[in-house]
């Protein structure tokens, strides 16, 4: 008999849930014990009776796992946690808790010099999370397997992640649905703030591991689908709640440095949305898109009153914005007109060349190898802060008892710019032109045969994407007060650059609004918070690309068309 092909029979639901619950309770208890003996490891994990640092991540993961285990007993107050089934979210949360806990124990061992630095609480935590995961693996799947399905361990694990048909939600009054939407955005704001405000890299890694597992568990439990139904029903309320939550973000931070990080994320996300018009809607592979960001930044820097500017003028902000947008738009048309008759790899090579030509040109306009316009590698520094209607962005302002500093002012300005870009993208995608772009992306020959002027529409997409990048570049030049050529490369360790922008669009989800924003936030936030792993960032980035392309090629946030394109059947429980 071939034992490797023998079916793996799960434990009955009762004993498996009991094992999982016991493991989760022991994990909870372990967070109140000391994990190490010295405060040399960040977070002070030496205190008994009070969790700290990464212990809070393990505590949250164990509590969520225990709640889903109890929901499996069909307790009336907890059944809403998993309308599509409890096994898949329980397994994902147990896996995320184990990853965060074992990462913490491994970091303690590596930084302090051996397993001897672990206290009994650390050993109990490591064993308890393993027991929790084993119990979750033994739970029966929410959807019974077919008799002819594969029976190996990997197939058993994948089947455990499938969910059943979600239970219909009880009808709620409109005010209750609005409260749920508001609570969801408030919770999302708090969780995002916790990650951005993480004081050290190890805490952010633990938070990221549990957050990934938690988001996957939300999707598998069916809560994400229910929330999506509510947001679609109350679209205006949802947009208002999203704007209010984003506007409140600077008020929740304790350090203006993190507000600067959030402003940079919005700039990166706005540029990614502009690239999404070119790549996601029209299907044009542009590898030099960051050059349009640079055109907008340099154009605004030349006319914004910098003492080192060769133009010697100081336009008001609205005129500087129009200058940056107009310059990028013109360059988009000039570059697109002779090149957009190319397709595929040939277009990618040409746009890559344009990106490098722009950077080299900015270097050579230094008064020695060319006209003295951009100061060469020194760039255009000392760009003054904006002043709009007497409101100085360089000063701190008190709002409702909260102090908003310089970067908070620019964050709110960039938030308005991002909203404008989102509205433009949404209107364009839903219009007749947007549908024509999608047709060109899917099959340009068939679109042309149906009477679509492919060249004109591709040029329009190129110009619109360039204009949106110019808008972001204008604000960026004022935020960082300088414009230098080395900021606008094809690839590098610090975004924004063309490679990271393209990755943000593809990983986030091409053709969607939320996808590039999520992708940009992750690709900008992770390198900044994991600077202690700087030597391995590109390696880890490559591994993440491979895993995501293998298991979710449609991106983190994908539309229905992409899901059907990359999967033989609609995603279970998605």
pLDDT tens, residue by residue, 41-99: 888 899 888 898 899 999 999 999 999 888 877 766 677 777 888 888 899 999 999 99
Both structure tokens of 570: 């609609």
State percent of the chain over pLDDT 90.
Answer: 16
Q: Are 372 and 364 in contact (CB under 8 A)?
A: no
What is d(CA 391, CA 399) in angstroms, rounded to the nearest whole number?
13
Question: Comparing 35 with 169, which gets the higher pLDDT?
Answer: 35
Both structure tokens of 292: 């349009």
For residue 532, pLDDT over 70 is answered with no
CB < 8 Å & 24+ apart, contacts of 206-210: 206/54, 206/57, 206/58, 206/100, 206/103, 206/104, 207/57, 207/100, 208/526, 209/57, 209/96, 209/99, 209/100, 209/103, 210/57, 210/60, 210/61, 210/96, 210/97, 210/99, 210/100
Q: Are 484 and 225 in contact (CB under 8 A)?
A: no
For residue 554, pLDDT over 70 is answered with yes
For residue 7, pLDDT over 60 is answered with no
Question: Comparing 214 with 483, which gets the higher pLDDT?
Answer: 214
pLDDT tens, residue by residue, 47-59: 888 898 899 999 9
Both structure tokens of 347: 């277009």
Both structure tokens of 260: 């600067």
Q: Domain limits of the chain?
A: 8-236, 255-387+419-527
Both structure tokens of 115: 């397993």
Instruction: Find the range with the poorest average confidence among 104-118, 150-164, 331-345, 549-563.
Output: 150-164
CB atoms under 10 Å from CB of 145, counted, come to 16
Closest CA to 160 of 72, 78, 220, 99: 220
For residue 147, pLDDT over 70 is answered with no
Q: Are 239 and 185 in contact (CB under 8 A)?
A: no
What's the predicted TM-score (pTM) here? 0.80
What is each CA distance from 67 to 86, 164, 499, 531, 573, in whole angstroms? Answer: 10, 19, 41, 35, 20
Residues counted in the chain? 574
Question: Comparing 158 with 379, which gets the higher pLDDT?
Answer: 379
Q: Angle, to 10 degrees, between the axis of helix 454-479 and the axis of helix 290-302? A: 50
| 5, containing H or E segment | none
| 111, containing H or E segment | helix 87-112
State the alpha helices, DSSP H only, in 388-513. 406-430, 432-442, 444-449, 454-479, 498-508
What is d(CA 82, CA 75) in angstroms, rounded to the nearest whole number?
11
For residue 446, pLDDT over 70 is answered with yes
Closest CA to 231 of 180, 175, 270, 192: 180
pLDDT at residue 97, rounded to an integer:
95
């Amino acid at each position: 008999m071939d034992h490797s092909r023998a079916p793996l029979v799960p434990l009955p639901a009762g004993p498996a849930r009991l094992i999982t619950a016991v493991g989760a309770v022991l994990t909870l208890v372990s967070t109140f014990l000391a994990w190490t003996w010295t405060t040399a490891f960040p977070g002070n994990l030496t205190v008994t009776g009070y969790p700290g640092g990464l212990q809070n991540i393990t505590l949250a993961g164990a509590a969520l796992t225990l709640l889903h285990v109890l929901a499996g007993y069909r307790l009336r107050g907890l059944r809403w946690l998993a309308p599509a089934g409890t096994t898949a979210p329980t397994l994902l949360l147990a896996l995320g808790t184990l990853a965060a806990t074992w990462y913490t124990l491994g970091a303690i061992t590596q930084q302090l010099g051996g397993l001897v630095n672990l206290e009994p609480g650390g050993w109990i935590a490591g064993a308890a999370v393993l027991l929790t995961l084993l119990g979750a693996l033994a739970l029966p799947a929410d959807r019974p397997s077919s008799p002819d399905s594969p029976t190996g361990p990997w197939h058993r694990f994948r089947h455990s992640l499938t969910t059943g048909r979600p239970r219909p939600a009880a009808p709620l009054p409109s005010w209750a649905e609005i409260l749920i939407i508001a609570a969801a955005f408030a919770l999302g704001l708090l969780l995002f703030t916790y990650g951005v405000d993480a004081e050290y890299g190890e805490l952010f890694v633990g938070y990221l591991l549990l957050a990934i597992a938690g988001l996957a568990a939300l999707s598998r439990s069916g809560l994400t689908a229910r929330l999506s139904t509510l947001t679609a029903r109350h679209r205006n309320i949802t947009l208002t709640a999203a704007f209010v939550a984003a506007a409140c973000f600077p008020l929740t931070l304790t350090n203006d440095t993190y507000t600067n990080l959030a402003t940079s994320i919005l700039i990166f996300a706005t540029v990614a949305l502009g690239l999404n018009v070119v790549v996601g809607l029209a299907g044009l592979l542009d590898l030099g898109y960051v050059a349009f960001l640079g055109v907008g930044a340099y154009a605004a820097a030349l006319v914004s009153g910098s003492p080192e500017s060769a133009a010697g003028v100081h336009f008001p902000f609205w005129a500087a914005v129009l200058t940056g947008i107009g310059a990028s738009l013109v360059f988009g048309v000039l570059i697109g007109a002779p090149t957009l008759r190319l397709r595929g790899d040939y277009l990618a090579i040409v746009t890559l060349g344009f990106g490098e030509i722009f950077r080299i040109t900015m270097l050579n306009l230094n008064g020695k190898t060319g006209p003295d316009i951009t100061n060469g590698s020194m760039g255009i520094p000392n760009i003054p802060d904006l002043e709009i209607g007497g409101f100085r962005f360089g000063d701190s302002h008190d709002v409702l008892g909260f102090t908003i500093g310089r970067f908070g002012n620019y964050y709110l300005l960039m938030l308005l710019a991002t909203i404008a870009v989102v509205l433009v993208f949404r209107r364009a995608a839903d219009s007749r032109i947007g549908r024509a772009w999608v047709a060109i992306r899917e099959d340009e020959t068939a679109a042309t045969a149906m009477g679509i002027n492919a060249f004109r529409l591709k040029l329009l997409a190129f110009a619109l994407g360039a204009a949106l990048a110019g808008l972001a570049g204008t604000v960026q030049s004022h935020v960082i007060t300088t414009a230098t050529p080395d900021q606008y490369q094809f690839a590098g360790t610090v975004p924004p650059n063309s490679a990271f922008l393209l990755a943000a669009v593809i990983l986030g989800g091409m053709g969607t609004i939320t996808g590039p924003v999520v992708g940009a936030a992750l690709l900008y936030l992770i390198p900044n918070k994991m600077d202690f792993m700087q030597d391995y960032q590109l390696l880890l980035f490559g591994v993440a690309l491979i895993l995501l392309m293998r298991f979710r090629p449609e991106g983190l946030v994908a539309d229905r068309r992409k899901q059907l394109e990359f999967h033989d059947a609609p995603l279970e429980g998605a």
